[in-house]
Amino acid sequence: AQTVTQSQPEMSVQEAETVTLSCTYDTSESDYYLFWYKQPPSRQMILVIRQEAYKQQNATENRFSVNFQKAAKSFSLKISDSQLGDAAMYFCAYRSALGNEKLTFGTGTRLTIIP
Amino acid sequence: DVKVTQSSRYLVKRTGEKVFLECVQDMDHENMFWYRQDPGLGLRLIYFSYDVKMKEKGDIPEGYSVSREKKERFSLILESASTNQTSMYLCASRSPGQGLGGPQHFGDGTRLSIL
């Protein structure tokens, strides 16, 4: 079974600075998808960024980018120019490209933005 | 925008009661999911459904059942509520037509307390 590990329960960053959230995963599969979801204090979870394992290029969405290291099974999220609205719980998630729709989530990292 | 609506934001019930959590989505999505979210444990999948009257167990189905009589509605049932089912419950939906990398869309969550 796949597992997803987020080793940083809490992180904080000064506004306008850059922060990196870590995620590692364990799988024997070669094709899969990785996601970062954001859950603000209002609680609705939204997708931040996604990465397909077969794509070598790291995904980027505006101020959000990932560092995908397939051999190391690492998928970190970098947030540049941090803003107050980035304060949230961030969850890393894994989805196999085979079989069912199941997402396996990590335990989350709570990000605090310091004004 | 996709709208996933959970019937209650907060719910308080007593041990032994039968509890219904309702979820409705307005985008004609085939797939729907129920998760529970606990601090330090992330999101864990309880049940999911690919279509009307179809259901599959997730990682923690014990003590729960589900019902999907209509495509837009997915209900989670606690047959006899227990205190260890106090948690945040999240509903999500997705269309396979979005491709394997397409996101799940989440509701706001129901914070359930069992006394």
| Residues in Cβ contact with A59 at an 8 Å cutoff, skipping those fewer than 6 apart | A49, A50, A51, A65, A66, A68
Q: Which residues of B touch A47 (CB under 8 A)?
A: 103-104
- Residue A97 contacts B where some CB pair is shorter than 8 Å: yes
Tell me what pLDDT residue A43 has. 72
pLDDT tens sequence for chain A (115 residues): 789 999 999 999 999 999 999 999 999 999 999 999 999 987 789 999 999 999 889 999 999 999 999 999 999 999 999 999 999 999 999 999 887 788 999 999 999 999 9
Query: Which candidate, B91, B103, B87, B99, places its Cα nearest to that of B4?
Result: B91
Interchain CB distance below 8 Å, A105 and B100 = no
Interchain CB distance below 8 Å, B56 and A100 = yes
Interchain CB distance below 8 Å, B100 and A42 = no
- Report d(CA A42, CA B88) in Å as an integer: 13
Chain A: residue whose CA lies nearest to B94: A101
Indicate the DSSP class of residue B79. S
Torsion of CA B58, B33, B105, A86, to 10 degrees: -50
- Residue A64 contacts B where some CB pair is shorter than 8 Å: no
Tell me what pLDDT residue A100 has. 73
Residue by residue, DSSP assigns A58-69 as PPEETTEEEEEE
Take residue A38 and report the two structure tokens written for it. Answer: 């954001």
Tell me what pLDDT residue A1 has. 75
Tell me what pLDDT residue B53 has. 87
Interchain CB distance below 8 Å, B50 and A47 = no
| Residues in Cβ contact with A62 at an 8 Å cutoff, skipping those fewer than 6 apart | none
| Residues in Cβ contact with B98 at an 8 Å cutoff, skipping those fewer than 6 apart | none
Residue range B28-47: mean pLDDT, rounded? 95
